[in-house]
Amino acid sequence: QKEVEQNSGPLSVPEGAIASLNCTYSDRGSQSFFWYRQYSGKSPELIMSIYSNGDKEDGRFTAQLNKASQYVSLLIRDSQPSDSATYLCAADTGRRALTFGSGTRLQVQP
C-alpha cells in the first residue's frame, strides 16, 4: 500500500467552479501535511500546510485535514485557468523526508 495516495486525474472543472483534490495517507502517526502545485516542466511550489484537524484557509485555497479518516483535501474556489497544474500531496511518515503522492492533474476549462 502506498503511503500517500492521490487520484491521478485529470480532474476537469469549469472556470469559476470549486476544484476538490483529495489525498489519503496510511501512517496514523503523520503530523504534517502539505499541498504543492507543480506546473508542467517546473519544480513543486508549496501552497498550503496543515497540521491540525479541520480547515485552514488562505485566499482561494482551503486545506482540510481529518486524522481519524486519514485524509487531506484541498479546495480551490473560483478556479482559474492558471490553476491548471499537478497538485502534490505530501506527509511526514516518520522518515527523514516527506512522502509525496504521485499528484492529481487539474484542468480548469475557460
Partner 1 sequence: SQTIHQWPATLVQPVGSPLSLECTVEGTSNPNLYWYRQAAGRGLQLLFYSVGIGQISSEVPQNLSASRPQDRQFILSSKKLLLSDSGFYLCAWHRDSITEAFFGQGTRLTVV
Binding mask 7-46 for partner 1 (x = CB under 8 A): ------------------------xx-x------xxxxxx
Between strands 19-25 and 4-6, the pairing is antiparallel
Q: Which of residues 88-107 bind partner 1 (CB under 8 A)?
A: 88, 90, 92, 95-98, 100-103
Rg (C-alpha) for the chain, rounded Å, is 13
Dist CA 75 CA 25 (whole Å): 18
1 binds partner 1 (CB under 8 A): no
**What residue has cell string 483529495?**
22
Of 19 and 50, nearer to partner 1 (C-beta) is 50
